[in-house]
Structure 1
């Protein structure tokens, strides 16, 4: 029974992350001007749109897996969040992008923390985690 609740919790995490990726991903495609107002000037808007579409695609993958109760893309979840987190911190620190991206870094940290927490809890409950 606990395993079922933990699976539901993981699916919920992916549901929220998926919605976040879809919304933030399509934003620059739908309204680049407001995106630039919020995040700062961009040199290559086509690249911003491409990253946005890729983000939305990943988000759709999370949403479909969560809603259909399919196997969750755990590796993609970790890899994507770590990628955004590293880029956000690196390029804010070097003053290439606006500090607003630290908000995204914090959201990625929350996703990684929640994902890790429930995976460790799931492995502990199933006896797969050995100390």
Structure 2
């Protein structure tokens, strides 16, 4: 907000460290994870299915992968800003919770492999990290 406009973000210079806002760390980690896991079925559907189980609708797997990759790219862009926007936090936490819910519901119904429970645990960890990063203030936890 160097120009004084509320809600406007600056990007940090290349190579500058991610500082102060703990949400930037969460956005960075989730962004990397989502880009990697989102692109995976696009690059090698064979290895993706070897780990996660066979899929009947290959186009749907690729569509979801592309969308997860785009969310990851947006989170990486948020990580480059001095502070993560409220919309960035909503996308980060909301997507993690949505994916965890899908993982748990459809694993319990036997529609997807139990390996998705590992993803659910990761997603819940990410959602928890968003919660902690939002509760934190520079200098420690709020009083």
Could you say whether these structures have the same fold, taking a TM-score greater than 0.5 normalized by the shorter chain as the test? yes
SS at match of 1:122: coil
Give the aligned length.
121
Alignment of 1:43-122 (within 5 A): 43-69=56-82, 71-72=84-85, 73-122=88-137
Match of 2:31 in 1: 18
User: By how many angstroms is 1:46 displaced?
Assistant: 0.4
Give me the TM-score of the superposition, normalised by structure 1. 0.85
Return the structure number with greater helix share.
1
Q: Which runs of 5+ in 1 are unaligned?
A: none
SS at match of 2:106: helix
Q: Which runs of 5+ in 2 are unaligned?
A: 1-18
Give me the TM-score of the superposition, normalised by structure 2. 0.79
How far, CA to CA, are the matches of 1:76 and 1:23 in structure 2?
17
RMSD: 1.7
SS at match of 1:54: helix
